[in-house]
Chains A and B, each alone.
Chain A
Amino acid sequence: MDEGLKSELQKAGIFTTTLNDLYNWGRGNSLWPLQFGLACCAIEMIATSMSRYDLARFGAEVFRPSPRQADLMIVSGTVTKKMAPQVVRLFKQMPSPKYVIAMGACAISGGPFKQGYNVLKGIDRYIPVDVHIPGCPPRPEALLHAIMTLQRKIAQDTLHPCRRKEEEAERIAALPVPEHGSHDLLPPKHDVLWHPEPVERS
Chain B
Amino acid sequence: MDSGTQDNPYLLLAVFVFSAVMMGLTPILMAFVWTRWAGTAKPDDIKNAVYECGLETGTYQWFPLKVEYYIYGIIFLVFDVEILFLLPIASVYKNLPAGAIAGILVFIFLLMEGLVWAWAKGLLRWQFTPSQNAPSPTQTQKQVTL
**A: which residues have CB within 8 A of B?**
23, 36, 65-68, 81-82, 85-87, 89-90, 92-93, 95-97, 118, 159, 169-170, 173, 177, 179-182
Among A82, A159, A170, which residue has its beta carbon within 8 angstroms of that of B146? A82
* Residue contact B54 to A86, C-beta cutoff 8 Å: yes
Closest A residue by C-beta to B52: A66
* Residue contact A96 to B40, C-beta cutoff 8 Å: yes
State the CA gap A81–B47 with chains docked (Å).
Answer: 21
* Residue contact A92 to B145, C-beta cutoff 8 Å: no
State the CA gap A194–B49 with chains docked (Å).
Answer: 27
* Residue contact A23 to B38, C-beta cutoff 8 Å: yes
* Residue contact B52 to A93, C-beta cutoff 8 Å: yes
Closest B residue by C-beta to A117: B146
State the CA gap A86–B54 with chains docked (Å).
Answer: 4
> Chain B residues with Cβ under 8 A from A89's Cβ?
46, 49, 54-56
State the CA gap A169–B145 with chains docked (Å).
Answer: 31
* Residue contact B47 to A169, C-beta cutoff 8 Å: no
B26-68 CB mask vs A (1 if < 8 Å, else 0) is 0000000000001111101011010011111000000000000
Give the number of residues in B that approach A within 8 Å (Cβ atoms).
18
- Whole-angstrom distance from the CB of B51 to the nearest CB of chain A? 9
State the CA gap A180–B49 with chains docked (Å).
Answer: 20
Assuming A81-B146, A118-B146, is B52 touching A67 (CB within 8 A)? Answer: yes
> Chain A residues with Cβ under 8 A from B38's Cβ?
23, 159
8 cross-chain pairs, A with B, having the tightest CB-CB distances, nearest first: A86-B54, A96-B40, A90-B54, A92-B46, A66-B52, A89-B54, A180-B144, A173-B42
Closest B residue by C-beta to A182: B145
Assuming A92-B47, A93-B46, A97-B40, is B146 touching A180 (CB within 8 A)? Answer: yes
B121 interfacial contact with A, CB 8 Å: no
Closest A residue by C-beta to B35: A95
* Residue contact B142 to A179, C-beta cutoff 8 Å: yes
Interface residues of B in 117-146 (CB under 8 A from A): 142, 144-146
* Residue contact A95 to B41, C-beta cutoff 8 Å: yes
> Chain A residues with Cβ under 8 A from B142's Cβ?
179-180
* Residue contact B42 to A169, C-beta cutoff 8 Å: yes
Q: Can you list 8 A-B contacts (CB < 8 A)?
A: A36-B54, A67-B52, A93-B52, A93-B54, A95-B41, A97-B40, A169-B40, A170-B42
Closest A residue by C-beta to B46: A92
* Residue contact A86 to B47, C-beta cutoff 8 Å: no
* Residue contact B41 to A93, C-beta cutoff 8 Å: no
State the CA gap A66–B145 with chains docked (Å).
Answer: 28
- Whole-angstrom distance from the CB of B145 to the nearest CB of chain A? 6
State the CA gap A170–B55 with chains docked (Å).
Answer: 23
Interface centre among A36, A65, A159, A180 (most CB of B within 10 A): A180
State the CA gap A181–B46 with chains docked (Å).
Answer: 20
State the CA gap A87–B55 with chains docked (Å).
Answer: 9
